Structure 1
Amino acid sequence: MSMKKRSMVFDSGVVIDILLGNNEGKKIERFIEENLDEIIINELNLEEIKYIVCRKNNIEKAEEVEVFLKSSGYFNIFPLAKIRGEIYRLKCKYTISLADASSIATAKILGISVLFRRLFRREKEIEPFKKELNVIFTDELV
């Protein structure tokens, strides 16, 4: 019997791993195929992804990635306007980055989990309240 499929918010770093096609990205792709109907990123995440791609490549490649993400059928881009009020509240309460706060705010507004790559800095910031914020790290995926 298969698990019930669901939606999940992905932080920018998780999407970057998928785009890079590295081992972590392949693990995430398997998780998507087996467990998810919908992947949600917000507009701020999209800008962060484009910035990272642009720095490693160029503006044209960043714009290609945006088109790919929007047309892939995998990703739903959530409007920043719908989470704006929640982002500052999370950022005020927790010592997390603005982008991380936007990912968590998206998940909180939608009532679903958010997936992050585990980074030492982030783990230190998020671990104490990850259950409260419904955060999952990629290394926790089965």
Structure 2
Amino acid sequence: MVFDSGVTIDMLSGSDEGKKVENYIEDNLDEVIINELNVEEIKYVVCKKSNEKRAEEVENMLKTSGYFTIFPFSSIRGEVYKIKCKYPISLADASSVATAKISGLPVLFRREKEIEPFKVELNVTFVNEIH
């Protein structure tokens, strides 16, 4: 399954939603995929809340943990702009959807009102829908 940045950030923060996602991974998933643009977004969020050093530590952890497969942006860039052009969603969200589309997998998001109208069409699952 492909994870959007927000889901990964929830996991890293240890929130209740993040713990729910961790349990879901242990029970249901063999692989968790994020893409390079999502890694940059995660670093940006961590940097704002902490500092650059912590953001770089998180990036290193994501890359070396063996928990995440990091999909190269070069593999999705021809698809991201098409999704962004068609749907009024953020570039990072479009990159998550593109990663899922290229991989043939569903994508997991926190509930986002921008995604809601296109949920089925984009093969999106929201965290509150997993068990």
Q: TM-score, normalised by structure 2?
A: 0.97
Offset at residue 71 of structure 1 (A): 0.9
Pair 1:135-2:124 in alignment: yes
Following TM superposition, by how much is the alpha carbon of 1:22 offset from its aligned partner in structure 2, in angstroms?
Answer: 1.0
Deviation (angstroms), 1:42: 0.3
SS at match of 1:92: helix
Aligned-pair identity (%): 69
Bigger-Rg structure (1/2): 1
Pick aligned residue for 1:80 from 64, 73, 87? 73
TM-score, normalised via structure 1 length: 0.90
Equivalent residue, structure 2, for 1:13: 6
Give 5+ residue unaligned stretches, structure 1: 1-7
Q: Deviations 1:9-65 (Å, cap 9, x if unpaired)?
A: 000000000000011111000000000111000000000000000010001100000
Unaligned 5+ residue runs, structure 2?
A: none
CA RMSD of aligned residues (A): 0.7
Q: Distance in 1 between matches of 2:85 and 2:26?
A: 36
- Aligned with 2:30: secondary structure? strand
Q: 1:68 aligns with which of 61, 70, 74?
A: 61
Q: Aligned residue pairs: how many?
A: 131
